[in-house]
Amino acid sequence: MTIAIVLGVYIAAMLAIGFSCRNARNAKDFLLAGGTLGPVLLSMSFVATYFSTSSLLGGGGSGYLFGFGFSAYLFFFHVLFAVLAWVIVAPRLRRVVQEEGILTVPQFFRHQFNSRVIQVIAALIIVVFFQLYMSSIYKGASNLLEITMGVSYPAGVAIVAIPVVTYTCMGGFRSVVITDLIQGIILLAGGVLLFGTIVVSMGGIGAGLARLASTPIGGGLTGEALMRLGATGPKELVDSGMMTPFLLSLTFAISVAQIASPQLIIRFFAAKDPGTVRKGMLLTPLLIAIFAFCVFSSGPFAHLFVQGIRDPDLVIPSLMRCVFPGWVSTLLLVAAIAAAMSTLSSTLMVAASSLTQDLLGNSSVPLTRLAVLGTGVIAPLIALRPIGIIVTIVGLSFSVISSVYLVPLLAGLYCHRPSRRAAIASMVASATTCVIWQLLVFRRLPVYPVVPGIIVSAFAYLSTDIVERTLAPKGAEEGAE
Main-chain dihedrals φ then ψ at residue 65, nearest 5 degrees: -85, -45
Nearer to another protein, 75 or 133 (CB): 75
Run of H or E including 216: strand 216-218
Helix (H/G/I), strand (E/B), else coil: 37: strand
Contact segment (CB under 8 A) with another protein among 74-82, 111-119, 132-140, 396-404 equals 74-82
Under rule CB under 8 A, residue 405 binds another protein: no
63 makes contact with another protein (CB under 8 A)? no
* DSSP secondary structure letter of residue 480: P
Query: Of the ranges 29-37, 226-234, 312-320, 427-435, which one interacts with another protein (CB under 8 A)?
Result: 226-234
Q: 46, 64, 68, 448: which one contacts another protein (CB under 8 A)?
A: 68
Identity (one letter) of the amino acid at 229? Answer: L
CA–CA separation, 408 vs 366, rounded Å?
Answer: 31
- Of 76 and 305, which CB lies nearer to another protein in the complex structure? 76
Find the angle CA(131)-CA(136)-CA(139) to the nearest 5 degrees.
125
CB of 91 to another protein, least distance (A): 8
Task: By CB under 8 A, tell whether 281 contacts another protein.
Answer: yes
- Residue selected from 4, 6, 13, 80 as contacting another protein according to rule CB under 8 A: 80
Q: Which is nearer to another protein, 24 or 281 (CB)?
A: 281
- Give the span between the Cα atoms of 330 and 324, in whole angstroms: 9
Cβ of residue 106: shortest distance to another protein, in angstroms?
29
CB 172 within 8 A of CB 33: yes
To another protein, the closest distance from the beta carbon of 283 in angstroms equals: 9
User: Residue 210 interacts with another protein (CB under 8 A)?
Assistant: no
Confirm or reject binding of residue 108 to another protein (CB under 8 A): no
Least distance from C-beta 298 to another protein, angstroms? Answer: 14
If binding is defined by CB under 8 A, does position 75 make contact with another protein? Answer: yes
Near another protein by CB under 8 A: residue from 4, 151, 192, 289:
289
Number of residues that bind another protein (CB under 8 A): 27
Element (H, E) at 222: strand 221-222
Contact between 88 and another protein by CB under 8 A: the answer reads no
Q: Which of 207, 228, 381, 439 binds another protein (CB under 8 A)?
A: 228
Asked whether position 76 contacts another protein by CB under 8 A, the answer is yes
User: 203: exposed, middle or buried (C-beta count within 10 Å: 0-12, 13-18, 19+)?
Assistant: exposed
SS3 218: strand
Out of 282, 381, 440, 472, name the contact with another protein by CB under 8 A.
Answer: 282
In whole angstroms, how close is the CB of 84 to another protein at the nearest point? 8
- On the CB side of 175, CA atoms within 13 Å amount to 29
- Cα–Cα distance measured from residue 35 to residue 76, given in angstroms and rounded to the nearest whole number: 31
From the list 371, 367, 471, 374, the residue with the least C-alpha distance to 421 is 471
Nearest alpha-carbon partner for 360 in 100, 35, 119, 29: 119
Residue 142, SS3 per DSSP: helix
CB of 41 to another protein, least distance (A): 18
322 phi/psi in degrees, rounded to 5: -75, -40
Read off the DSSP letter of residue 314.
G
Cα distances from 101 to residues 42, 105, 107, 115, 257, in angstroms, run: 19, 12, 10, 17, 25
Q: Is 40 in the site for another protein (CB under 8 A)?
A: no
Minimum CB separation of residue 402 from another protein in Å reads 19
Site string for another protein, 257-276 (x = CB under 8 A): -----------------xx-
Is residue 83 a contact residue for another protein (CB under 8 A)? Answer: yes
The whole-angstrom separation of Cα 342 and Cα 337 is 9
The burial of 371, by beta-carbon neighbours within 10 Å (0-12 exposed, 13-18 middle, 19 or more buried), is given as: buried
Q: Residue 73, interface with another protein (CB under 8 A)? A: yes
78 binds another protein (CB under 8 A): yes
Cα 434 to chain center, whole Å? 18
Question: Could you tell me which stretch among 131-139, 144-152, 234-242, 279-287 binds another protein (CB under 8 A)?
Answer: 279-287
Q: Which positions ≥6 away from 476 have C-beta within 8 Å?
A: none
Q: Which is nearer to another protein, 227 or 373 (CB)?
A: 227
229 binds another protein (CB under 8 A): yes
Q: Which residues of this protein are in contact with another protein, per CB under 8 A?
A: 68-69, 72-73, 75-76, 78-80, 82-83, 86-87, 209, 227-229, 274-275, 278-279, 281-282, 285-286, 289, 293
